[in-house]
């Protein structure tokens, strides 16, 4: 049976939060955000293994985090690259070696998840897995619910944008491993890896490939700012109290 393997990207420096450490290693209720993200896949019965692609200065920290939080599905920790694309490529190259050793297969499915995206629900993960199995690739996406306008200068918008024509793409992003390899091989051959926005789906668009999108919702936030961290802190506290039976959401008729 084909395996489901998650690459969790934790190689960034998170400069936009303005903190003393990368956002994925910021601790919330005594636990790093990265551990919460890995827990999503640790708890999903369809996921077989996790590979963390980690910033070189935080590999020891990451190894300790895995042990302390008993994240048993983390099988490999790989050094990250200088950019998003090169971190993904480092993770892919390591998996290729496992194919050569017979540990995994090119028919296995590989999912890319940002280390700073701990809000992803099991419903979203399951939807992406299902479509990846059916179509060979999938991303989670939501409609654009907010009004959209053009950004014509620092503080001026001149054109209304039809939000119904656009989607917001998030993670996880799933690929049959053979296809994921093909995306990066074609991108390298065309010399567009360094010239394209830093996401695998951006390469797909640049190469002319279709992007299949599965269920997504507005709760699937990628942490970028200090405010996002505060939002997750409230979410983590609510969930902790809920698990203990100390928090109940009251609905009004």
What stretches in the chain show pLDDT beneath 70?
Answer: 14-19, 244-253
Per-domain boundaries in the chain:
4-228
pTM of the model: 0.92
For residue 209, the model assigns a pLDDT of: 98
Q: Give the dihedral sign, CA 63/184/215/14.
A: positive
Q: Which residues contact 229 (CB under 8 A, 6 or more apart)?
A: 17, 23, 26, 28, 33, 223
Cβ-based burial of 202 (10 A; exposed 0-12, middle 13-18, buried ≥19): middle
222 CA to centre of own chain: 8
User: According to the model, what pLDDT value does residue 206 have?
Assistant: 97
pLDDT per residue as tens digits for the range 134-157? 999 999 999 999 999 999 999 999
Q: What angle do CA 90, 18, 151 make, to 5 degrees?
A: 85
Residue 218: what pLDDT? Answer: 92
Chain mean position to CA 102: 26
- Per-residue model confidence (pLDDT) at position 253: 42
pLDDT tens digits, one per residue of 19-48: 678 899 999 999 999 999 999 999 999 999
pLDDT at residue 252, as a whole number: 44
pLDDT computed for residue 197 by the predictor? 83
Q: Is residue 79 packed enough to be buried (19+ CB in 10 Å), middle (13-18) or exposed (0-12)?
A: middle
Cα–Cα distance between 22 and 135 in angstroms, integer? 35
The topology under which CATH files domain 4-228 is Spore Coat Polysaccharide Biosynthesis Protein SpsA; Chain A (3.90.550)
pLDDT score, position 16: 54
Sign of CA dihedral 82, 84, 90, 94: positive
């Amino acid at each position: 049976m084909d395996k489901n393997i998650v690459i969790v990207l934790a190689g960034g420096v998170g400069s936009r939060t303005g903190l003393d450490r990368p956002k994925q290693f910021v601790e919330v209720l005594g636990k790093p955000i990265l551990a919460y993200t890995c827990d999503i896949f640790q708890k999903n019965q369809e996921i077989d293994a996790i590979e963390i692609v980690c910033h070189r200065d935080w590999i020891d920290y990451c190894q300790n985090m895995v042990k302390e939080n008993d994240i048993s599905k983390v099988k490999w920790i790989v050094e990250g690259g200088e950019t998003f694309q090169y971190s993904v490529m480092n993770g892919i190259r390591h998996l290729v070696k496992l194919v050569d050793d017979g540990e995994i297969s090119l028919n296995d499915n590989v999912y890319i998840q940002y280390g700073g995206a701990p809000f992803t629900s099991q419903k979203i993960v399951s939807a992406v897995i299902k479509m990846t199995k059916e179509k060979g690739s999938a991303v989670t996406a939501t409609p654009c619910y907010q009004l959209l306008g053009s950004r014509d200068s620092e503080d001026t918008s001149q054109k209304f944008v039809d939000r119904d024509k656009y989607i917001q793409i998030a993670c996880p992003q799933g690929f049959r491993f053979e296809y994921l390899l093909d995306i990066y091989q074609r991108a390298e051959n065309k010399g567009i890896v360094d010239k394209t926005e830093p996401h695998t789906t951006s390469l797909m668009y640049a190469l002319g490939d279709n992007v299949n999108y599965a269920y997504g919702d507005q709760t699937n936030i990628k942490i970028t700012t200090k405010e996002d961290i505060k939002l997750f802190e409230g979410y983590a506290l609510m969930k902790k109290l809920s698990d203990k039976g100390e928090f109940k959401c009251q609905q009004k008729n």
